[in-house]
Structure 1
Amino acid sequence: MEVVKGPLPSCSKEDQQIYKEWFHLADSDGDGRITGNDATKFFAMSNLSRQELKQVWALADSKRQGFLGFTEFITAMQLVSLAQSGHEVNSEIMKNPLSTDDIKPPTMEGIDALLAMPLNAVTSIIDGLKKLYIEKLKPLEAAYRFNDFVSPALTNSDFDAKPMVMLLGQYSTGKTTFIKHLLRCNYPGAHIGPEPTTDRFIVVMSGTDERSIPGNTVAVQADMPFSGLTTFGGAFLSNANIVYAQLLDEITIVDTPGVLSGEKQRMQRSYDFTGVISWFAAKCDLILLLFDPHKLDISDEFKRVIASLRGNDDKIRVVLNKADQVDTQQLMRVYGALMWSLGKVLNTPEVVRVYIGSFNDKPIDEETVSPMFLDLFEKEQDDLLMDLVDIPKKACDRRINEFVKRARAAKINAYIISHLKKEMPALMGKSKAQQRLIDNLEDEFAKVQREFHLPAGDFPNVEHFKQVLNGYSIDKFEKLKPKMIQAVDDMLGYEIPELLKTFRNPYA
């Protein structure tokens, strides 16, 4: 029997795997931390008394952080095991030598049923995706730092959130007026003028009362899908608000600051503007690019913003707003100029859908607009409203689509990270080798693409990847784990189709 100095020796690989599964199950927010609320629900399965669990938490959270990381969680589980076997849980237990045989994973009542719950036991497609994420995809993301290089970890609120629509455009193209047009009323924080008036990101959500919540407060609320925005820092969160509007029941609308042009765009924003846009784009169900007849030019910042939408081309729609401000002949020329400008920045062979109209609360002057264009504006407005009405109906399909895209991106990220690790020398010259790999990252991407027969279009942005990579030691990365890759392949090839089959129309 091995005796270790200290009561909580390193556990075996088998026990670590068990604890890892339990940790992901207990971590309701998916942020790598077990909060007090998480612990209350999970530790209750141990059937220990409240006083014993109080001592377990106090000893495990020795740094008084208010949460348990994975290491502290293992300590807590070992303490629970000791308590179940009759040991008194107190500070003295941390000083006495115990054998590894004394500390096995504790008995947690009902946990096997939760872990082994088959997909046909979940009550919805979204619940099934949550389970697949925790069991199959999240371990791969954690092992290869997907959350740092590509996208923050998903939480329950990300799966449960209402569909979102994001409005983008240069200042004074009518984004805020467009939202007022949909709501048929004002909302907190709305200000309209010819100058750049919306200076912050405003998320308009459904609520029983109209109020505004600052971004720093929203980012720490577990029931909202915005915790990932903390990565953009306090400067951004100070420029973000959540407002509640009574008339929004089915969707959430994101109003963005006007994209700058000319001299104004040379003034640096205090946060990564295009990064925030990219984050919202990945979570949105529809992205509306607003133009008006007098602002058809696409500035350098607007080009960067549109480039950050890469991978979300199917969500993009264009709105040519304030079309009643020009006559018939001018409108035709404006439309042609707009399509020409978009063709240079939207790298897709398909023609993007453009809605033409005047989306505000003022009636169109029938004396200056021909009856033919009045009819056109009305039909275009109806088409756009139908597009918006269809969003909730397609929300589940969109969740599945985004989940599959994320799984494929996580696989590619794992291949890249493990390839870079493999290219590092065993002993000497590690810093030079790392710099060489970073400098030639595009070539390394090409090697990974050829080796694993991956589509080039699915690879991440090279410059962004380089930037993140500079903060890491490649030598510390994980080698490729085929079993984890296979688990995600099985999820994509068998388990997701089986999940969809379970919830399809029974009479189809």
Structure 2
Amino acid sequence: MEIARSAAAVGCSKEHQRIYADWFAIADPDGDGRVTGADATKFFAMSGLSRADLKQVWAIADSKRQGYLGFGEFAAAMQLVSLAQAGNEITQDSLKREDLSSFDPPVMKGLDELLARSMAIVNVVRPQENGTPQVQAPSTNSWFSSKSAKKIQTPLTAVTSVIDGLKRLYIEKLKPLEVAYRFNDFASPLLTNSDFDAKPMVMLLGQYSTGKTTFIKHLLKTNFPGAHIGPEPTTDRFVVVMSGSDERTVPGNTIAVQADMPFNGLTTFGGAFLSKFECSQMPHPLLDHITFVDTPGVLSGEKQRTQRSYDFTGVTSWFAAKCDVILLLFDPHKLDISDEFKRVISSLRGNEDKIRVVLNKADQVDTQQLMRVYGALMWSLGKVLNTPEVMRVYIGSFNDKPVNESAVGPIGKELFEKEQEDLLADLKDIPKKACDRRSMSL
């Protein structure tokens, strides 16, 4: 089902899905569902294309820069090879062609022999103890050369991506030291595979009604499951918005114990917090690269006297250590930094390089007032953030409504558009810098 869905995403017919599934089994001698660069070099060479063309095919198919191809990326690569063999130039927009599905699978010299050999191995039947015949799994490690078999029998000396390399270094070098000195007892829990494989995270912090949930909706250009937007405090829990096969919400006490999720450390905050924690999953191209963390509004005024049932500052500090970017959202009419907000910002200490400040809903004031608001915000932040550098503040109105040009004028509208482009460019760079940040954290 997953293979069919991946192939359908790049416009493969059912017949081509079946063909590419057989080819993928041959191109993936390890059987781990990943075609590495070395495997692809051997398999793609059968197409007869030049090295430059094959390099371009790999660069487009491996758009996520994982260092390997899953089935969906492999099917896309095969379609690009078909285009190249038909005399078409390979570009970033080649996979968007409407006639892509009309191209036949590429011609791969010698592939028929490998397929016939694999089918012969599959058809070898050996009886079980109860007399029921069982198909013996093919030994794929001998399809290309003895070098592939040797790679499986001996320890790997290379990795398929930077993340895999970091994971291996941690498991082999750092984890034994952490266990020996009980580092997890007084500092941070031991890292798991999910901590390395997780997508980069962006956390949004701010007082209620500063537009945190609307900001996520604006980037996704659609609502996400469990989203509530209103003038009153609506988000009363931490919501992780991430990629999923279908639209659904998962309770916090469920996702916190899943081994394939990087949220196991949240169990230390107890059931009171887990009841205020939720995961929102949906299929979306942006969520394939970034995960968002929506947070409850920071309390201010009389509401601060009502204590939360869990350690709000501790939770934000935990997420801050895991996140790649922290967005502090402010409203022009709510520039006061409450005591709780001060504690939250103080809990971000050590992660100052991740903080970005967003002055949202800036089109609610005119140009003269915006100038004064900007100055007041910088003054307030200077009293709380003990850093000598000037904090970058993005100005804009991040929602689906057009900018109120009657208030800010044409110059203000142009300013908002440029600021929004800068912020989006900053967010787009997050996946590229994720490996650097994780390597530094080790």
Following the alignment from structure 2 to structure 1, what is the Cα–Cα distance between the partners of residues 313 and 223?
28
Shift of 1:136: 2.3
Shift of 1:177: 0.6
Question: 1:252 — aligned with what?
Answer: 291
Deviations 1:361-411, CA, capped at 9 Å, x for gaps: 1112222221111000000001111111111111111211222xxxxxxxx
Q: Helix, strand or coil for the counterpart of 1:259?
A: coil
Letter in 2 for 1:201: F
Q: Helix, strand or coil for the counterpart of 1:209?
A: coil
Following the alignment from structure 2 to structure 1, what is the Cα–Cα distance between the partners of residues 248 and 277?
14
Shift of 1:131: 2.0
Question: 2:181 — aligned with what?
Answer: 144
The answer on whether the counterparts of 2:367 and 2:407 sit within 8 Å (CA) in structure 1 is: no
Question: 1:230 — aligned with what?
Answer: 267
Following the alignment from structure 2 to structure 1, what is the Cα–Cα distance between the partners of residues 357 and 152?
46
Q: Does 1:292 align with 2:331?
A: yes
Letter in 2 for 1:396: C
Following the alignment from structure 1 to structure 2, what is the Cα–Cα distance between the partners of residues 366 and 274?
38
Question: 2:349 — aligned with what?
Answer: 310
Q: Give the one of 358, 375, 385 matched to 1:319.
A: 358
Shift of 1:246: 2.2
Q: Does 1:243 align with 2:280?
A: yes
Letter in 1 for 2:215: F
Q: Which runs of 5+ in 2 are unaligned?
A: 1-150
Give runs of aligned pairs for residues 486-497 of structure 1, distance below 5 A. none
Q: Give the one of 164, 185, 188 matched to 2:201.
A: 164
Following the alignment from structure 1 to structure 2, what is the Cα–Cα distance between the partners of residues 383 and 185?
22
Question: 2:19 — aligned with what?
Answer: none
Question: 1:197 — aligned with what?
Answer: 234
Shift of 1:121: 2.6
Give runs of aligned pairs for residues 105-120 of structure 1, distance below 5 A. 117=155, 120=157
Following the alignment from structure 1 to structure 2, what is the Cα–Cα distance between the partners of residues 115 and 347?
55
Following the alignment from structure 2 to structure 1, what is the Cα–Cα distance between the partners of residues 406 and 207?
29
Q: Which runs of 5+ in 1 are unaligned?
A: 1-112, 404-508
Deviations 1:121-170, CA, capped at 9 Å, x for gaps: 33322222222212222223223332232211110000010000000001
The answer on whether the counterparts of 2:364 and 2:404 sit within 8 Å (CA) in structure 1 is: no
Q: Does 1:369 align with 2:408?
A: yes
Letter in 1 for 2:306: M
Describe the shift of the 1:286–1:115 C-alpha distance in structure 2 as closer, same or farther (beyond 3 A).
farther
Deviations 1:49-78, CA, capped at 9 Å, x for gaps: xxxxxxxxxxxxxxxxxxxxxxxxxxxxxx
Question: 1:273 — aligned with what?
Answer: 312
Following the alignment from structure 1 to structure 2, what is the Cα–Cα distance between the partners of residues 153 and 191?
35
Question: 1:501 — aligned with what?
Answer: none
Q: Does 1:263 align with 2:302?
A: yes
Deviations 1:62-98, CA, capped at 9 Å, x for gaps: xxxxxxxxxxxxxxxxxxxxxxxxxxxxxxxxxxxxx
Following the alignment from structure 1 to structure 2, what is the Cα–Cα distance between the partners of residues 346 and 310?
9
Give runs of aligned pairs for residues 119-134 of structure 1, distance below 5 A. 120-134=157-171
Question: 1:348 — aligned with what?
Answer: 387
Shift of 1:189: 1.2
Q: Helix, strand or coil for the counterpart of 1:368?
A: helix
Question: 2:191 — aligned with what?
Answer: 154
Shift of 1:209: 1.2
Q: Which has the higher contact order (CA 8 A, sep 6+)?
A: 1
Following the alignment from structure 1 to structure 2, what is the Cα–Cα distance between the partners of residues 371 and 122?
52
Letter in 2 for 1:280: F
Shift of 1:310: 1.1
Following the alignment from structure 1 to structure 2, what is the Cα–Cα distance between the partners of residues 285 and 115?
38
Deviations 1:18-38, CA, capped at 9 Å, x for gaps: xxxxxxxxxxxxxxxxxxxxx
Shift of 1:336: 0.3
The answer on whether the counterparts of 2:207 and 2:298 sit within 8 Å (CA) in structure 1 is: yes
The answer on whether the counterparts of 2:250 and 2:280 sit within 8 Å (CA) in structure 1 is: yes
Q: CA-atom RMSD, angstroms?
A: 1.7
Following the alignment from structure 2 to structure 1, what is the Cα–Cα distance between the partners of residues 381 and 425?
24
Following the alignment from structure 1 to structure 2, what is the Cα–Cα distance between the partners of residues 397 and 363?
37
Shift of 1:186: 0.8
TM-score (norm 2): 0.63
Deviations 1:349-368, CA, capped at 9 Å, x for gaps: 11111100000111122222
Letter in 2 for 1:223: D
TM-score (norm 1): 0.55
Q: Does 1:186 align with 2:223?
A: yes
Give % identity. Answer: 81
Following the alignment from structure 2 to structure 1, what is the Cα–Cα distance between the partners of residues 270 and 154?
39
Q: Does 1:386 align with 2:408?
A: no
Letter in 1 for 2:363: D
Moved more, 389-398 or 121-130: 121-130
Q: Helix, strand or coil for the counterpart of 2:389?
A: coil
Following the alignment from structure 2 to structure 1, what is the Cα–Cα distance between the partners of residues 159 and 422?
36
Q: Does 1:400 align with 2:439?
A: yes
Question: 2:103 — aligned with what?
Answer: none
Following the alignment from structure 2 to structure 1, what is the Cα–Cα distance between the partners of residues 432 and 414?
28
The answer on whether the counterparts of 2:363 and 2:405 sit within 8 Å (CA) in structure 1 is: no
Letter in 2 for 1:359: F
Q: Helix, strand or coil for the counterpart of 1:208?
A: coil
The answer on whether the counterparts of 2:396 and 2:417 sit within 8 Å (CA) in structure 1 is: yes
